[in-house]
Structure 1
Amino acid sequence: MPTADLAIADITDADVPRVIALWQACGLTRPWNDPAADIALARRGAHSTVLIGRHEDAIVATAMVGHDGHRGWVYYVAVDPNSQGKGLGRTIMASVEAWLRRAGVPKLQLLVRRENAKASGFYQSLGYEESTSVMLAKWLDGRTPTA
C-alpha cells in the first residue's frame, strides 16, 4: 500500500472499537489503562485528539496527540502489524507534527518503554533524541502499576 493512499482524519465515534482493536494488536494497551477512556479524554477538548490513518475502509495507523500550549505529547502510535514497513508510521507522525505546528506548539515529546528498542530506533530515525530529563510519575487515583 503506498503511503499516498493514507487518509488522515480525527477519530469518530464509529472508529473507536477498531482503533482499540488496533492498539491491542500492536501491544499498546495495558490492563490499568482503559483505552476507551483515554480516547474519550483526548476527544474532550480542543487541545488533543486521536488521528487515524485510513487506507480504503481499514484503519491502519493511529496517534493520540495533545498539548499544553508549549509541549506536545504523542501516545498510542500504532501501525497495523500487516502494514508495517511501508512508511505509515512516518506518515502518521508527520501528521502529528503538522497538527502541533498548526496549534503553534514548538516541542513534541513522547515516551518509549525502555525495552522497546524497535520503537526507539524508529523515533530516532525521524530525528527524535533521548532527553536528558528523567520522568517521574505518581498515580493520583490509587493505582500502583508503573507504565
Structure 2
Amino acid sequence: MIIRPFRAEDEAAIVALWVKCDLVRPWNDPRKDIQRKLQVQPELFLVGEESGHLIASVMAGYEGHRGWLNYLAVDPAHQRRGHARALLSEAERLLLERGCPKINLQIRTTNAAAAAFYHALGYGLDEVISMGKRLVHDEPSV
C-alpha cells in the first residue's frame, strides 16, 4: 500500500470507503468533513492506495496541545494486512514531527474491535468524559 496525502479527486472514493466501513453518521456530512479538513492541515489527511484503488484513510490533526485521529478506515476486503497499522504509524510520525506529545481519539462504545486494535498498538483508556457541542448542523449528503 502506498500512503499519500488526500487529493480532491479522491473525495468520492473516500466517502464510499467511509460508508462501507460504517463511519458515516447522519449528523456528520462526510463531504463537509473533507472540505473542512482541507482548510486545516490538509497534509495530515492521508489515504492508502493499492493498485490504483483507495483502500484506506486517516485524518490527523494537531492544535498545539494534543493530536487527534479521525476516520481511520480500511476497506473490509483489505483488512488484517497491516494497512491500518501502517497508516496509523505514518500519522503518528507526522504528528511527532510537529512536536505533538499525545494523541487522542474517540471510539464508539459499541466498536470493540477498534478498541482492541488501538489497545494492541499502545493506546490506553483515558479517565475522561468525552463531550461535544455541535456548532454547525450539517444536512447529510450521503
Which runs of structure 1 show a deviation greater than 6 angstroms over 4 or more consecutive aligned residues? none
Question: Contact conserved, 1:43 with 1:49, CA < 8 A, in 2?
Answer: no
Query: Of the candidates 64, 68, 71, which is equivalent to residue 69 of structure 1?
Result: 64
Question: Contact conserved, 2:44 with 2:60, CA < 8 A, in 1?
Answer: yes
Aligned to 2:125: 130
Specify the code of the residue in structure 2 equivalent to 1:84: Q
Question: Contact conserved, 1:60 with 1:83, CA < 8 A, in 2?
Answer: yes
Specify the code of the residue in structure 1 equivalent to 2:79: Q
Question: Contact conserved, 1:47 with 1:68, CA < 8 A, in 2?
Answer: no
TM-score of the aligned structures, taking structure 2 as reference length: 0.92
Matches within 5 A, 1:32-43: 32-43=27-38
Question: Contact conserved, 1:48 with 1:67, CA < 8 A, in 2?
Answer: no
**Greater relative CO, 1 or 2 (CA 8 Å, sep 6+):** 2
CA apart distance, 1:141: 3.3
Unaligned runs of 5+ in 1: 1-5
Specify the code of the residue in structure 2 equivalent to 1:10: P
Unaligned runs of 5+ in 2: none
Counterparts of 2:137 and 2:37 in 1: how far apart (Å)?
22
- Residue 105 in 1 paired to residue 104 in 2? no
SS of residue in 2 equivalent to 1:94: helix
Matches within 5 A, 1:73-84: 73-84=68-79
Question: Contact conserved, 1:23 with 1:78, CA < 8 A, in 2?
Answer: yes
Counterparts of 1:53 and 1:103 in 2: how far apart (Å)?
21
1:12–1:47 distance in 2 versus 1, CA, 3 Å: closer
TM-score of the aligned structures, taking structure 1 as reference length: 0.89
The superposition leaves residues 78-123 of structure 1 with CA deviations (integer Å, 9 ceiling, x where unpaired) of 0010001111110110011011012111110100000100000000
Q: How many residues were matched structurally? A: 138
The Cα RMSD (Å) is: 1.5
Aligned to 1:88: 83
Specify the code of the residue in structure 2 equivalent to 1:54: E
Query: Of the candidates 3, 13, 33, which is equivalent to residue 8 of structure 1?
Result: 3
Question: Contact conserved, 2:74 with 2:83, CA < 8 A, in 1?
Answer: yes
CA apart distance, 1:46: 3.0
Matches within 5 A, 1:110-125: 110-125=105-120
What percentage of residue pairs aligned between the two structures are identical? 36
CA apart distance, 1:47: 7.0
